[in-house]
Structure 1
Amino acid sequence: MQQFKLDFSPIVYYTSGKDCSEWVLFLHAAFVNYKMFQPQIKYFENKYNILAVDIIGHGKSTDTKKGDCVEKMSAWIYDIMNAEKIKKIHIVGISLGAVLAQDFANRYPEAVNSLACFGGYDINNFDKKMQKENGTSQIRMMLKAFVSIKWFAKANKKISAFSPQAQNDFYDMNIQFPKKSFLYLASLNSMVNVFQTKSRKYPLLIGCGKFDIPMELQAVEDWKSREPQLKVAIFENAGHCVNMDMPQKFNEVMEEFWENTKNYL
Structure 2
Amino acid sequence: MIHYKTYIRGEDCEWVTFVHGAGGSSSIWYKQLKAYKENFNVLLVDMRGHGKSKNISGKLFKTYTFDDVSRDIIEVLDHVKITSTHFVGISLGTIIVQIISEQAPERMRSMVLAGAVTHMNVRSRVLITLGNMVKHFIPYMWLYRLFAWVIMPSKRHKESRSLFIREAKKLCQKEFKRWFKLTKGINRFLGTLFDKEPPIPTLFIMGDEDHMFLPFVQMRVKKRQFAQLSLVADCGHVVNVDQPEEFNRISIGFIQKQSTIAQGMYVWNPA
Q: Which residue of 1 aligns with 2:218?
A: 221
Q: Which residue of 1 aligns with 2:268?
A: none
Q: Which residue of 1 aligns with 2:85?
A: 89
Q: Which residue of 2 aligns with 1:250?
A: 247
1:139-150 matches, cutoff 5 A: 139-141=129-131, 143=134, 147-150=138-141
- Structure 2 residue aligned with 1:29, among 8, 21, 44? 21
Q: Aligned pair 1:236/2:233, yes or no?
A: yes
Q: Which stretch shifts more, 105-114 or 216-225? A: 216-225
Q: Describe the SS at the equivalent of 1:232.
A: strand
Root mean square deviation, CA, Å: 2.5
Q: Note if contact 2:25-2:167 (Cα within 8 Å) is conserved in structure 1.
A: yes
Unaligned 5+ residue runs, structure 1?
1-8
Q: Note if contact 1:159-1:240 (Cα within 8 Å) is conserved in structure 2.
A: no
TM-score by length of 2: 0.81
Q: Describe the SS at the equivalent of 1:233.
A: strand
TM-score by length of 1: 0.83
Q: Which stretch shifts more, 176-185 or 63-72? A: 63-72
Q: Note if contact 2:17-2:86 (Cα within 8 Å) is conserved in structure 1.
A: yes
Q: Describe the SS at the equivalent of 2:4.
A: strand
Q: Aligned pair 1:138/2:128, yes or no?
A: yes
1:98-109 matches, cutoff 5 A: 98-109=94-105
For 2:147 and 2:131, locate their aligned partners in 1 and report how far apart those are by CA, in whole Å.
8
Alpha-carbon offset, residue 110 of structure 1: 0.7
Q: Which residue of 2 aligns with 1:5?
A: none
Percent identical among aligned pairs is 24
For 1:81 and 1:108, locate their aligned partners in 2 and report how far apart those are by CA, in whole Å.
11
Q: Note if contact 1:99-1:121 (Cα within 8 Å) is conserved in structure 2.
A: yes
Q: Which stretch shifts more, 88-97 or 68-77? A: 68-77
For 1:166 and 1:178, locate their aligned partners in 2 and report how far apart those are by CA, in whole Å.
21
1:198-213 matches, cutoff 5 A: 198-200=197-199, 202-213=200-211
For 1:94 and 1:199, locate their aligned partners in 2 and report how far apart those are by CA, in whole Å.
19
Q: What letter matches 2:157 in structure 1?
A: S
Q: Which residue of 2 aligns with 1:78?
A: 74
Q: Note if contact 1:56-1:184 (Cα within 8 Å) is conserved in structure 2.
A: no
How many matched pairs?
248
Question: Residue 146 and residue 49 in structure 1: after superposition, are their counterparts in 2 closer, same or farther (change >3 A)?
Answer: farther
For 2:151 and 2:122, locate their aligned partners in 1 and report how far apart those are by CA, in whole Å.
20
